[in-house]
Amino acid sequence: MSIELDLGNAAHWEQFHYSSRQVSWRTNYLFNPLEEIDCSGGTLLESSILASFANSTNAKSTWRVAGWLHQKIRVGVAVGGGLDAVSQHNSRVLLNRVNLHFWRRDIKSYGLSFAATNWMQQLNLTLWKYTGPIIDLTQEAIDLTRIDILRTEAKVDILFKDWKR
């Protein structure tokens, strides 16, 4: 399968989420971890390509991972009052760099949440969705293969007729 994208064009990216979170301290040394962030804002996303950027004002230089994006798919099974299932295809978000996330294209709409690592005390998260063209060259390749097969069959038929004589 071959897909043609124009990821380098800034006009094809649209920011849809920004949040800044701070932990709540219980004592001078204990804090409650950051709560999971609903990144889709109650609406369903349709773009299968996202970009993220996470940074923290107090992250140690050795920390590499900010957390994970979780794709939430609406299913018809209601358990505990919720209709969303968390996909097995979660995506890690690295600190201080733009991350690309490619979700399955056969899932047309989904929700998105972010779970920060438990040691993260402050976090800024920005998400963009790709709005540019996604050109699937698979059908074109299939059509070219069909033409090649027909041409090959015609040549085999000619050779077979010559051989029978």
pLDDT of residue 73: 84
Say how many CA atoms lie within 13 Å of 18 toward its Cβ.
2
Q: What is the residue-wise DSSP string for 38-99?
A: E-STTS-B--SEEEEEEE-TT--TT--EEEEEEEEEEEEEEETTEEEEE-S--EEEEBTSEE
Walk along the chain (165 residues) and give the pLDDT tens digit of each residue: 577 777 888 899 999 999 999 998 888 888 888 999 999 887 889 999 999 999 999 999 999 999 999 998 877 776 766 656 777 779 999 999 999 999 988 888 888 999 999 999 999 999 999 998 877 777 776 777 888 888 888 788 788 777 766
Cβ count near 47 (within 10 Å) = 19
pLDDT of residue 82: 63
